[in-house]
Chain A
């Protein structure tokens, strides 16, 4: 049995004959934040939704805390839903405008028939405070809140059942700069306090750098590189990862430079090449990816090995 909080194994998704996620392997170890990065169309959101079983995979397996949940029926899935929750980008669309914040946060408890109505109300108030809102907000409605405050409510609702795994899909992308840091810090604090494991889906590499332990880079449905955050930022090997990192604006007007841009063909043509002696000799323990090559320090990259492998 796997020790990992969440594991996707060779997971694929086809929509109308097009493969949008292609045999992705992804592991979220316990107490870690794994960032899934890529641009629109990379399949990162589809991968996250498959992990949650909100989209059914075409192939592959999903393991939650070592339990295979790939083909569980909805009824059998329900207890696992308590363990894995989600926060989306658009907090306005994910909160029912007709419900009070207290009702919204307590709803998961009601669905899982936990506690009496008054106990649920108390816990919702506790959670409002844990996410940095006053308990008096329980009687307010979503439209009365700012984007950052609504995202706090989404986080409270996601975690009130005591989930151990949180999938966060671009939770800070719609937020103002001054509020973004608040939500990143909130997630970071809760992650440490609750021992959460998090799959953080984002195109914002700056946030990823401050929050994630590991980074997984997707391009056109495939994982092209993954590794510890510091290694990816300091020593990316795949040309697409490098292009992504290079595109991040530099917060220093004295360091402006002309960038060169690779076309998709150039990225394909520049797939890294390694000689066998450059590759970490360790066997690929947690991956069955034939296309990923293991480098030193748990760093994997899509590459061509010259001279046979």
Chain B
């Protein structure tokens, strides 16, 4: 079953400079039980895409248009406030980068999880609290009975992120959207949280959308990858194929620029220039000003993203169609 269907999503923000398009025609879908990674740098539109999917953006200043924006079978563009409130949490829950700003500092952890459960499920406070403790245990918080009485400031960043995951799981969502869930964490804690998310996904069969700038996180966690740049999808395909044989010059350059892949002090392969300014995007392919193989046509033609039977697609006119289909 298709949990997520996004077709030709455009998100614009009214800003001082005028109308700024953060997402410029993004399409992808997610099957149930599947894990999808959205990788991109700051300004690529990866977070805005997912916030738009859950209709979490304030409109205005944001404007969302799409041919399709479907989550759990529901048309998210038509959904009213009540419908949205029931979809969020139950159909899709989100975990953000900074748990400290997602939790209310003046309420206990237990109170906040109970509040979420009671909002979505018919449950007494007592039942909800028991469930909160069970959820905290599931995310491997050992002294869960004590932690429900803690305030957010009494927990470390890694523990807080576990709490956020517990809260997201409280309504058994069909999709978990994790937006840079480990970026603010230490490396050893990052590895633990990623393992936890993978374990829970395997156990519950929920869908996962992992938004990250870190190709390492992608390589470790997801089945399929969407590579975004300048508000567009540059490449999509199964994770093994993307890492073994990236098609788009941007994906290739990103993979080549990862430091520390070989032993020894060495110069890294860099991508010249910097990411495009969304207020003033380049014409044609957004990557052409930095692309090593760009030709004149790349300045004017916006490449299409056509998915082949291999599940692969690359938005690049320099990539021969037979390589995408191979």
Q: Which residues of A pack against B, CB within 8 Å?
A: 33, 39-40, 146-149, 176-182, 184-185, 188-189, 203-213, 229-230, 233-234, 243-244, 246-254, 256, 258-259, 261
B271 at the interface (CB under 8 A from A): yes
Q: Chain B contact residues (Cβ within 8 angstroms of A): what range?
A: 35 or more
B146 at the interface (CB under 8 A from A): no
> How many Å lie between the Cα of A189 and that of B266 in the bound state?
10
> How many Å lie between the Cα of A149 and that of B277 in the bound state?
14
Contacts of B268 in A (CB 8 A): 181, 184-185, 210
* Residue of B with least CB distance to A243: B188
**Per-residue interface assignment for chain B, residues 256 to 289, with 1 indicating a CB less than 8 Å from any chain A CB and 0 otherwise:** 0111110111111111101100000000000000
Query: Is B258 touching A246 in the complex (CB atoms < 8 A)?
Result: no
* Chain A interface helix/strand/loop/mixed: helix
> How many Å lie between the Cα of A211 and that of B189 in the bound state?
24
Query: Is A210 touching B195 in the complex (CB atoms < 8 A)?
Result: no
B100 at the interface (CB under 8 A from A): no
> How many Å lie between the Cα of A145 and that of B78 in the bound state?
40
> What is the minimal beta-carbon distance from B175 to any residue of chain A, in angstroms?
21
* Residue of B with least CB distance to A258: B195
> How many Å lie between the Cα of A40 and that of B188 in the bound state?
11
Contacts of A211 in B (CB 8 A): 259, 265
Query: Is B261 touching A251 in the complex (CB atoms < 8 A)?
Result: yes
* Residue of B with least CB distance to A146: B274
> What is the minimal beta-carbon distance from A228 to any residue of chain B, in angstroms?
11
30 pairs across A/B with beta carbons < 8 Å? A39-B189, A147-B42, A148-B274, A176-B42, A177-B257, A177-B258, A178-B253, A178-B274, A179-B274, A179-B275, A181-B268, A182-B270, A184-B268, A188-B265, A205-B187, A205-B260, A206-B261, A211-B259, A246-B191, A247-B187, A247-B188, A247-B190, A249-B190, A249-B219, A253-B219, A256-B219, A258-B195, A259-B195, A261-B191, A261-B192
Q: Which of the 9-residue segments B86-94, B117-125, B210-218 touches chain A?
A: B210-218
Q: Given A39-B187, A177-B213, A261-B188, A250 and B219 touching (CB < 8 A)?
A: yes
Contacts of B275 in A (CB 8 A): 146, 176, 178-179
Which residues of B269-326 have CB atoms within 8 Å of chain A's CB atoms?
269-272, 274-275, 290
* Residue of A with least CB distance to B192: A261
> What is the minimal beta-carbon distance from B269 to any residue of chain A, in angstroms?
6
Contacts of B41 in A (CB 8 A): 176-178
